[in-house]
């Protein structure tokens, strides 16, 4: 049989995805690869209460179809929470999504024609590349430092590509680097977007998982020209299995994304939306988020402390103030994928995500993304110590 794939499949590489999914599969291996939240802090009792209430008290509504943009009450609650960080929007400017990931797909579907330029951080979120690539864009990447995107480089990229469709950024605790964009850079980014008439996709699933330092206003709160599509998620503040997130953007953009969502999945699960809405109504999600922050701060400290004690000095790492990840940089020429396959997995029994996949255009082999969220304290110390010792022998 000849499978007559569309041209867009040419750039898709299923074996890379399979390899990634297999990383954590061996129970003997301590995997720092996945970006899963710590399941031990899912608020099971409260979720059990709201799912029961959704069925027992509101079952006929909660198991029925609803409008494609999401339950009105939940949209209103998302808008109210957004107002607390300076995002002024109505519930009609909110679209409930199947996780923030769906917002990346819908935004790409709405804007990208084959060959269009998308400007993004280098490195960037793998899931964004997975969402955008089927629409066959050309990526223009902007380097980052400890304050996020380099604005001089962004300006050059915009001058060279004035027809670009959008700028994609993860301003807080970026996946994969853990880096947060400073306030000054955010102001510059908005100023550049205004000047070059550019849409920004602001992807913020980790925004509320800040465990150190002062919160920085989201780009959307500085957006006076309605050019930011702000994406958020319940995955890291409640549970990713709910598959619920949101987009906040102008009425016009939300209407178009909603039309596309209708064709993709009609709507998000009414039951899950109802349960989350009841959760926000009945329980204090902010105090739950405090627990999440405390847990990840402890784990982040433990991981970085173990790295400091056991890793060779030639390996540097980022110091995130929130989120789930740190980003390791090895000496030039070091190949983290090869090292994992040949040494880290068989000898240290440790997995991470080799960094090359996070670069849209030119893969760099001397990086790795490590997550401190999923493993227990003991496993963090054991796994990182084993990796550090192995690296000391090898570098």
Ligand X SMILES: Cc1ncc(COP(=O)(O)O)c(C=O)c1O
d(CA 257, CA 250): 11
- Least separation in angstroms between residue 96's CB and ligand X is 11
| Choice between 50 and 106, CB closer to ligand X | 106
DSSP 95-143: EEESHHHHHHHHHHHHHPPTT-EEEEEES--HHHHHHHGGG--EEEEEE
Tell whether residue 245 is a contact of ligand X (CB under 6 A).
Answer: yes
| Choice between 192 and 324, CB closer to ligand X | 324
| Choice between 35 and 355, CB closer to ligand X | 35
DSSP 159-191: HH-TT--EEEE--SS-TTT-----HHHHHHHHH
| Choice between 235 and 318, CB closer to ligand X | 235
Strand partners, 94: 248
Binding to ligand X, residues 124-153 (CB under 6 A): 125, 127
Tell whether residue 122 is a contact of ligand X (CB under 6 A).
Answer: no
| Choice between 82 and 170, CB closer to ligand X | 170
Query: Which of 94-102, 153-161, 328-336, 362-370 is the region at the interface with ligand X (rule: CB under 6 A)?
Result: 94-102
d(CA 297, CA 162): 41
Residue nearest to ligand X (CB): 99
- Least separation in angstroms between residue 128's CB and ligand X is 7
- Least separation in angstroms between residue 234's CB and ligand X is 7
Phi/psi at 355 (5° precision): -75, -20
- Least separation in angstroms between residue 283's CB and ligand X is 20
Among residues 66, 177, 233, 272, the one that binds ligand X under rule CB under 6 A: 233
**CA dist list (Å): 87 to 190, 247, 267:** 15, 12, 24
**CA dist list (Å): 21 to 165, 241, 261:** 31, 17, 27
Secondary element (H or E) of residue 228:
strand 228-233
Is there a contact between 161 and 117 (Cβ–Cβ < 8 Å)? yes
Contact flags string 165-184 toward ligand X, x per CB under 6 A: -----x----x---------
d(CA 329, CA 318): 9
Query: Which of 11-19, 95-103, 108-116, 248-256 is the region at the interface with ligand X (rule: CB under 6 A)?
Result: 95-103
- Least separation in angstroms between residue 202's CB and ligand X is 10
β-strand pairing of 94-97 with 245-248: antiparallel
- Least separation in angstroms between residue 99's CB and ligand X is 2
Query: Which of 177-185, 233-241, 286-294, 379-387 is the region at the interface with ligand X (rule: CB under 6 A)?
Result: 233-241
Tell whether residue 320 is a contact of ligand X (CB under 6 A).
Answer: no
Query: Which of 14-22, 98-106, 161-169, 281-289 is the region at the interface with ligand X (rule: CB under 6 A)?
Result: 98-106
| Choice between 31 and 306, CB closer to ligand X | 31
Q: How many residues bind ligand X (CB under 6 A)?
A: 14
- Least separation in angstroms between residue 279's CB and ligand X is 16
| Choice between 175 and 295, CB closer to ligand X | 175
- Least separation in angstroms between residue 393's CB and ligand X is 33
Among residues 93, 172, 203, 208, the one that binds ligand X under rule CB under 6 A: 203
Contact flags string 33-52 toward ligand X, x per CB under 6 A: --x-----------------
Sign of the alpha-carbon torsion through 94, 39, 37, 45: positive
- Least separation in angstroms between residue 323's CB and ligand X is 8
- Least separation in angstroms between residue 245's CB and ligand X is 4
Q: Give the list of residues 6+ apart from residue 173 with CB closer than 8 angstroms, or none.
A: 179, 180, 206, 207, 209, 210, 320, 321, 322, 323, 324, 325
At what angle are helices 285-310 and 377-394 packed, to 10 degrees?
30
Secondary element (H or E) of residue 303:
helix 285-310
Phi/psi at 21 (5° precision): -65, -30
Binding to ligand X, residues 253-272 (CB under 6 A): none
β-strand pairing of 166-169 with 117-122: parallel
Which of 34, 33, 44, 98 is CA-nearest to residue 238?
44
Binding stretches for ligand X (CB under 6 A): 35, 99-101, 125, 127, 170, 175, 203, 205, 233, 235, 240, 245
């Amino acid at each position: 049989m000849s499978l007559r794939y569309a041209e867009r499949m040419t750039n898709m590489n299923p074996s890379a995805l399979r390899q990634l999914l297999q990383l954590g599969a061996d129970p003997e291996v301590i995997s720092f690869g996945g970006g899963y939240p710590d399941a031990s802090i899912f608020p099971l009792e409260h979720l059990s209460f709201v799912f029961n209430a959704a069925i027992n008290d509101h079952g006929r509504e909660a198991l029925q179809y609803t409008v494609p943009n999401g339950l009105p009450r939940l949209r209103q609650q998302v808008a109210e929470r957004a107002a607390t960080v300076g995002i002024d929007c109505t519930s009609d400017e909110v679209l409930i999504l199947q996780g923030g990931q769906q917002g990346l797909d819908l935004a790409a579907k709405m804007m990208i024609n084959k060959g269009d330029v998308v400007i993004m951080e280098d490195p960037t979120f793998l899931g964004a590349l997975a969402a955008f690539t089927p629409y066959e864009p050309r990526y223009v990447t902007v380097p980052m430092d400890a304050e996020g995107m380099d604005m001089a480089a962004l300006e050059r990229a915009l001058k060279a590509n004035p027809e670009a469709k959008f700028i994609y950024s993860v301003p807080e605790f970026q996946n994969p680097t853990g880096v947060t964009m400073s306030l000054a850079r955010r102001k510059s980014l908005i100023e550049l977007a205004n000047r070059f008439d550019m849409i920004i996709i602001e992807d913020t699933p980790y925004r509320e998982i800040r465990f150190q330092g002062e919160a920085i206003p989201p780009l959307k709160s500085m957006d006076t020209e309605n050019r930011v599509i702000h994406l958020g998620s319940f995955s890291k503040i409640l549970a990713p299995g709910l598959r619920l997130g949101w987009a906040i953007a102008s009425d016009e953009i939300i209407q178009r994304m909603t039309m596309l969502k209708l064709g993709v999945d009609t709507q998000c699960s009414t039951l899950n939306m109802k349960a989350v809405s009841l959760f926000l109504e009945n329980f204090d999600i902010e105090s739950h988020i405090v627990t999440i922050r405390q847990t990840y701060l402890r784990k982040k400290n433990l991981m970085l402390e173990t790295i400091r004690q056991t890793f060779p000095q030639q390996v540097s790492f980022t110091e995130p103030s929130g989120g789930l990840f740190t980003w390791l940089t090895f000496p030039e020429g070091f190949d983290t994928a090869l090292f994992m396959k040949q040494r880290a997995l068989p000898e240290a029994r440790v997995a991470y995500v080799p960094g090359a996949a996070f670069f849209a255009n030119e893969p760099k082999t001397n990086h790795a993304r490590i997550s401190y969220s999923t493993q227990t304290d003991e496993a963090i110390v054991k796994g990182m110590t084993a990796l550090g010792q192995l690296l000391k022998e090898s570098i």
